[in-house]
Chains A and B, each alone.
Chain A
Amino acid sequence: MAFFKLLRQSPLSARIGIAMVLINVIAAVFTPLIAPYGETEIVGDVWMPSSSENYLGTDHLGRDLFTRLVYGARNTIVIAFVTTMLSFFIGSLLGFFAATLGGWTELSLSRVIDILMAFPTLIFALIALSVVGTSVTALIVVIAVLDSTRVYRLSRAVAMDIAVMEFVEAARLRGERIWWIMRKEILPNAMPPLVAEFGLRFCFVFLFIAALSFLGLGIQPPTADWGGMVRENAGAITFGILTPLWPAGAIAFLTVGVNLIVDWFLQLASGLKD
């Protein structure tokens, strides 16, 4: 109920964002029902213009672009979501540990994270992926670990503010274990900023996968994904064919949508403080 009340009070920008994300989610969930053809099915000539059979035309191998876009939504969004979840799990767990225990634990954890952060993320990912290979699992783990450093920073900072509150001290005095303190005392109070950050990081991860795919190290063909589709069709642009702009537009569309929601969340989260 509280959720619907919140939704009713949401600003227009957030509603637009929700609608944009919903379109993507629907595409990801009902992919086979929406897509007119199979993911790798070749339906016609190369780079055909849009028509009643191929709404957005065909790609460089003659596959239906609309179908590829819908499948791409499923692949990219699911992988980005799983990656963000994993990175939040690792990052916030370590962050809460550091904030709650303090002392040497915090110091050593923070320095290790600092070292990880010192490398440019893209280069680090390229090295790691060329070592472990470009399977989906490897992709998820590598990006999640790299991204969790940022989550660690945030969750540690948020948790440190909470860990000095008297209700946490009361729990310590009661003799509670660290795990309980983290789960019951700190986590519920750290949720609002973490949720807002989740949306933001989801965008970054998603863009990062697109970038990796564009470089050829992300999701491998023939699996459809938006970043890869831009790369595969990039050559078309020199002939004045607009095909690569569709997946690029889809990336922008989802990113803008998520950001509109995140902005609203951030506003709510900061509003909670005063």
Chain B
Amino acid sequence: MTRLLEMRKIEIEGYSSEEEKWMPIIKGLDLTLDKGEVLGLIGESGAGKSTFGLASMCYTRGGCRISSGSILFDGMELFGAPEEELRKIRGVRISYVAQSAAASFNPAHKLIKQYAEAPIQHGLMNFNKAEEKAVDIYRRLLLPDPEGIGYRYPHQVSGGQLQRAMVAMAMACTPDLIIFDEPTTALDVTTQIEVLAAIKKITREFNTAAIYITHDLAVVAQLADRIMVLRYGNLVEENNARELMANPKEEYTRALLSVRTLREDRDLSDTEHDIVLEVENVSASYTGKASEKVLEDIDLKVRRARTVALVGESGSGKSTLARVITGLLPQLEGKVIYGGKELPPALKSRKPETLRIMQMIYQMPDTALNPRQRVRDVIGRPLTFYFHMRGKEKDDRIRELLEMIELTPTKYKDRYPGELSGGEKQRVCIARALAAKPEMIICDEVTSALDQLVAEGILKLLQDLQNELRVSYLFITHDLATVKAIADEIVVMLKGRIVEQGVKKDVLTPPHHAYTDLLLSSVPEMDPDWLDGVLEERKRKGLKSADFVQS
């Protein structure tokens, strides 16, 4: 094997306008990559993995700079090389695939035009030649209708297809190295598996080296030959992929690897008849027309002190169902029954008492908290609003709530959301919900914007609170690992309908409904052979996931 890339003692700094000085982001990391090798960069947000990955083409985002080190790409020193030289390499010999394909494509141009831009710009081929090659690459990436798909606009193809079109674009000049920056993070599991398969296939066929950046160890295990685990800009552990998975040396790697079950199957018989919320034959539509329903015939029961997981991919209607239950979107047909009484469909006609017992926690804690309100105001408002608490009584309750969510009251109560980490913000959201003393909390993807270890902390907190306060959760998520970890019951949704529901054990043990089966089998496992195994299995059965969802 010949060495393709050698980065030595890379130090990268970012300018902090608050501290008014340059702060280290990457603290002297080394990286080597052979031709055709795939390297996985793993770490949580803020670990510096994207910054480090981008540095391999001697590029930094605005406000960052490479302060020292050496980047030797195929015998050529990139660090300190003139911009003109770097421009000749970027896009031609090293290319980049970003996380959000939708944000990276220009919506005003057809895919193939954007594909051809780099090769034409760099004078490698004319449009006809590029077009020919595009069709070949589209075909290799298993895109449907490879001759025609290039002539569509970005909004005319699905998310997974767009991501593959972006991989094709990165492949346009047949580079030696591609940097993948979380290319599947924004995708559903059933789509993710297709993109992963496509990436794996094409990097092998062209013998392209790759740096694959992700926070998901199970994903990178499918592709990488070697894995580097980063944390706070330092290297935690580096090893051959299989070796690292089988035999992690560091505590942190082990924490990332471990698959946890927070809730064992438990005896649920005592709450069988204690129904908190019941949804009966509910249909809903955003336009108000019966022909454009986004929810159809939803029947659902939430029992006291249980966690019901509502699973489905994006567009399956799970968040819409939450909007119907809370009254933000009045249903077309059916009933929402709470504690034996039917609730008025519209939010406006519900009484404060009804609103109080049903609280909501959101996916993005950043947008769920008013950036101009202090923590004590955020938590204090429901106390004043529902219980008319004032003065010391209110202060005491705020302290109590902060202790419940495991944040030190004296330290946190006067902070603004901007002064909290993502996990802390989500905890404050939980406290705001708890302040109303609810009987049921709707959790809408509450952990999907958080790092793995932080998310586990939040899930554990929710569990403890449930045991203590006997509150019910309607837990909306696309992440089956979370479902397995915490649910008592599972409801599987597909295109506005419930396809399967029941107690966790029943839903998770075969035989499944075909869609549940697809969903379950698409969740990456911590096994380097998982992807090949699943693809093999699906080929044998003649099943393609995209077909299923589209049919």
Contacts and interface: CB of A to CB of B under 8 A. Distances in A.
Interface of A: 165-167, 169-170, 172-176, 184-185, 188-189
Nearest to B326: A173
B367 A189 contact: no
B397 interface: no
Contacts of B367: 165-167
Contact of B369 (A167, A169, A173, A174): A167
A173 B328 CA distance: 8
Contacts of A174: 355, 381-382, 385, 436
B362 A175 contact: no
B364 interface: yes
B370 A173 contact: no
B360 A172 contact: no
Contacts of B362: 166, 170
Interface in B345-401: 347, 350, 352, 355-356, 359-360, 362, 364, 367-373, 381-382, 385
A189 B370 contact: yes
Contacts of A175: 350, 352, 355-356, 385
B432 interface: yes
A173 B368 CA distance: 12
Contacts of A170: 360, 362, 368, 432
A189 B372 contact: yes
Contacts of A185: 370
Interface residues of B, number: 24
Contacts of B328: 169, 172-173
A167 B370 contact: yes
A184 B326 CA distance: 22
Contacts of B372: 188-189
A174 B385 CA distance: 8
Contacts of B364: 166
Contacts of A189: 370-372
Main secondary structure of the interface of A (DSSP, over half): helix
Nearest to B372: A188
A165, A173, A185, A189 interface centre (most CB from chain B within 10 Å): A173
Contacts of A167: 367-370
Given A167-B370, A174-B355, A189-B372, 7 more contacts: A169-B328, A170-B368, A170-B432, A172-B347, A173-B355, A174-B436, A176-B385
Contacts of A173: 326-328, 347, 355, 359-360
A169 B432 CA distance: 13
A175 B381 CA distance: 11
The CB with the most chain B CB atoms within 10 A, among A165, A166, A189, is that of: A166
B427 to A, nearest CB: 15
17 contacts: A165-B367, A166-B362, A166-B367, A172-B328, A172-B347, A173-B355, A174-B355, A174-B381, A174-B385, A174-B436, A175-B350, A175-B356, A175-B385, A184-B373, A185-B370, A188-B370, A189-B370
A176 B348 CA distance: 10
A180 to B, nearest CB: 9
A165 B326 CA distance: 16
Contacts of A172: 328, 347
Contacts of A188: 370, 372-373
Nearest to A189: B372
Contacts of A184: 370, 373
Contacts of B382: 174
**Best-buried of B368, B370, B385 by chain A (most CB within 10 Å):** B370
Contacts of B355: 173-175
A161 to B, nearest CB: 11
Nearest to A185: B370
Q: Nearest 7 pairs between A and B by C-beta?
A: A188-B372, A166-B368, A167-B370, A175-B355, A175-B352, A166-B362, A166-B367
B530 to A, nearest CB: 35
A247 to B, nearest CB: 42
A109 B47 CA distance: 49
A174 to B, nearest CB: 6
Nearest to B323: A169
Nearest to B385: A174
Nearest to A169: B328
Nearest to A272: B371
Contacts of B347: 172-173
Contacts of A165: 367
B448 to A, nearest CB: 14
A101 to B, nearest CB: 11
Contacts of B368: 166-167, 170
Contacts of B369: 167
